[in-house]
């Protein structure tokens, strides 16, 4: 790229001082004072919305756990009732332990004393 001037001289602007624009600063503070509460309100709204969603998911998760535990309790109750049935206990005693019903000769009667 060709330069328009033959001699290039450095520019010294040391003597220039930039003054602060007080009106611009006041306008900036006014805008910040107006926008800050709006931004805080928006952040609080978003935070509350996220918390509501989080708590909703947690409630749903806990309800599912409750349903699973109620179902488990029902199944365990049925299993306990099955395991406690006298018919099953008798069948198992005969099958696994080789027990049988006592004969009339094996019965002993005890009299109750007053």
Would you say residue 104 lies in a domain?
A: no
pLDDT classification of 55: cutoffs 50, 70, 90 = very high
Residues 6 or more apart in contact with residue 88 via CB below 8 angstroms? 82
Mean pLDDT of 54-60: 98
**pLDDT at residue 50, rounded to an integer:** 98
pLDDT above 70 coverage of the chain, percent: 95
Would you say residue 114 lies in a domain?
A: no
Fill in the DSSP letter of residue 105.
T
- The secondary structure element, H or E, covering residue 104 is none
Task: Tell me the whole-structure pTM to 2 decimals.
Answer: 0.54
Would you say residue 16 lies in a domain?
A: no
Domain of 40 in residue numbering reads as 22-97
Would you say residue 6 lies in a domain?
A: no
Would you say residue 81 lies in a domain?
A: yes
Would you say residue 87 lies in a domain?
A: yes
Q: How many domains does the chain have?
A: 1
């Amino acid at each position: 790229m060709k330069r328009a001037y033959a001699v290039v001289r450095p520019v010294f602007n040391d003597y220039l001082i930039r003054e602060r624009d007080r009106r611009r600063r006041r306008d900036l503070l006014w805008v910040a004072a107006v926008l800050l509460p709006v931004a805080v309100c928006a952040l609080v709204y978003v935070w509350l919305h996220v918390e509501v969603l989080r708590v909703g998911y947690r409630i749903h998760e806990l309800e599912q756990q409750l349903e699973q535990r109620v179902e488990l309790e029902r199944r365990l109750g049925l299993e306990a009732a099955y395991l406690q049935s006298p018919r099953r206990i008798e069948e198992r005693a005969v099958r696994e332990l080789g027990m049988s019903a006592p004969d009339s000769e094996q019965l002993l009667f005890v009299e109750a004393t007053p």
